[in-house]
Chain A
């Protein structure tokens, strides 16, 4: 029983990692007042770029760099459309999602001719799992051994980066000048403008942060969790991340718990696949996969109170009186 639990929790960590990276990515952008439903597209683009670059160069790190670069490029497209040209943020986000789906499939087929896959990556082209110090020695210790050696140890570096990004984001948001301005511009850009700060530049920087984190999320999918890019491999994770972000009311630590919860549901779903649950019979996987969305709607509707988005979110800043 304990072992099963540890196994489920272990895969929870793996499955939450891309959600967490993407949700934190969204947090930067949305806290600055730029809504981003294009997390999915950026992640997908980054996953493809990372998979392709790692396969060609044989280096996971170059793959990561390529993923981040592509994701930032897409983020800047979003920024150019929404910040500079004051376009509709939702439309731009949707466009980026479609662009990513189409381009990754097209280029993948054209470059590698493996039905949209990139060649499998192995060895240095993939992020290996790290074993924490003493993990092997402690393995046999009851409880602690399970938790330390199985749950905490034995993940790739991107997992640790994702979880360290949580306190880091919190620190940036609440303890730095950039964070203060970021939060302010999402609430009242006119206040930021009259304080002598450029709204445009600030929002661009936020969007770039989103690009970086989405890039890591994408690279995680193709060169860490899996060994190569598969068509549409994000499979809606960008949207679940968005749900987690709303669920967590745009706060970094709650974002982590929301992502862990959604990752946990996913892990349970995988575990339950094809199994008979007493009294219910075989649980349809789709039902569990839909749970994160249902949970978000239900909990937001009644249990955790209203999630108030950053007040200026969704609107471009135009100098005029409100």
Chain B
């Protein structure tokens, strides 16, 4: 066992305006280990990693790489020191091919022709060595997120990274994809590379890391050997109090159907049928969960019901109002007015305008509400008051509604959307990936809010790739595969059975 240190941080400080994102951080990471970092949303994890990667500059403190004191003035310097990073939000050029993305910044000469051939060979080698297969000529933006992430990892390895930082890599991955990633990380570690892994999923920390450090409100509060700690202890260290890792709920009392979907068919822009003849009901006072490997039509289903995506055929009934989705292009605002709220899966693309102030996002889509103003004028005081109430209730940090939304941490951005949609008290709530990128304290809170909404007699349709989450929250589970609902199960059904259904095994085989 080598006790050499790959990374040593001493007294790192970083302040953004009024927010102290990192306070006197000390961290030691052993060479050839997988080191986890956990902490609440906004604890400063991404900031710390961005400092290590030269993307931000620390206000003070010292960084040592392999025992040598260094200044990391730019990402270029970080790359030269053998540091690679997979950012929480991918840093890819979407209309580039995979190959182009990988060589960007490491082209190997002023003319591309030479470098490209070498890069292609190198990618092939990396793909074989680490089981990181991606078509080098595919357009990056067309790839599913799991593959886009591989491209990010390939980028780092291509540059010869010895230290690999992954910021919430599994937030967007399905469980099998995450397992695959962890196999790769272990291989990298066994080769002597050092991995820094940020995640909110304590199970992953327990499964894959050697050591784990906990951050809270900008400070490093503890470092533990993974084998000598527990999920409960980590959760408590993170949040500063005991956290319930399970959802507490009473049996559902379903009432009249609030949301019914009949014969929904959706074809996407490429002409592929992505939702096929889906019908189901969600009753007042129940949570229906949709389980499935991502990309099996769940996202499109939600978007079609919300009126964002045109459907080829299908009727939804929301709280008694029948809407023919295939008729004239439906307007999401109209559908909302019947009592439907929607927390989109991808908060960056659909949920938020990140360049807006927080309070503007807090009413986005509801700006015509009488509560937000009169006629053409917005009542900013009332809007700010609404925003502040949301910030308080959902513990959004920092509690500043005038801050630009882009400057909130990932999990806090998610809370902004949730606060906006849930607090409207809708009859029907559609939620996609409600806890993606959210810390465990907040997960506990969000789960409680969803259950409370149910207990208040509302209908909740939940889509999540986290099977655990679906099983914990839902009163009934629908499994989607290849655009169809392939089965309905009770949430207590064994994970293996649900897993088989999700993988497309036929009904009979699963029974």
Contacts and interface: CB of A to CB of B under 8 A. Distances in A.
A320 B111 contact: no
A175 B105 contact: no
Interface stretch (B92-100, B311-319, B451-459, B489-497): B92-100
A195 B94 CA distance: 15
A178 interface: yes
Interface in A174-206: 174-181, 183-184, 187-188, 190-198
A196 B75 contact: yes
Nearest to B410: A321
A162 B250 CA distance: 76
A112 B506 CA distance: 88
A193 B106 CA distance: 13
Contact of B354 (A179, A190, A322): A322
Contacts of B76: 196-197
Given A194-B55, A319-B55, A322-B89, A181 B75 contact: no
A19 B415 CA distance: 51
B92 A191 contact: yes
A181 B406 contact: no
Nearest to B84: A194
Interface residues of B, number: 40
A174 B100 CA distance: 10
Contact of A180 (B75, B95, B103): B103
B2 interface: no
Contacts of B396: none
Contacts of A198: 74
Contacts of B115: 177
Interface string A190-224: 11111111100000000000000000000000000
A196 B96 contact: no
Contacts of A181: 104-105
A194 B112 contact: no
B370 interface: no
Given A194-B91, A196-B77, 16 more contacts: A175-B112, A175-B113, A180-B104, A187-B94, A187-B96, A188-B91, A188-B92, A191-B104, A194-B87, A195-B91, A195-B155, A196-B105, A311-B94, A320-B406, A320-B407, A322-B406
B366 interface: no
10 contacts: A175-B113, A180-B103, A180-B112, A181-B105, A194-B53, A194-B55, A195-B75, A195-B155, A196-B75, A319-B55
B22 to A, nearest CB: 15
B407 A178 contact: no
B89 A195 contact: no
B111 A196 contact: no
A176 B103 CA distance: 12
B56 interface: yes
A177 B107 contact: yes
A180 B107 contact: yes
Contact of B78 (A183, A196, A321, A322): A196
A183 B56 contact: no
B406 A188 contact: no
B95 A187 contact: yes
B407 A176 contact: no
Contacts of B55: 193-194, 319
Contact of A190 (B91, B96, B109): B91
Nearest to B57: A319
B198 interface: no
Contacts of B78: 196
A192 B53 CA distance: 14
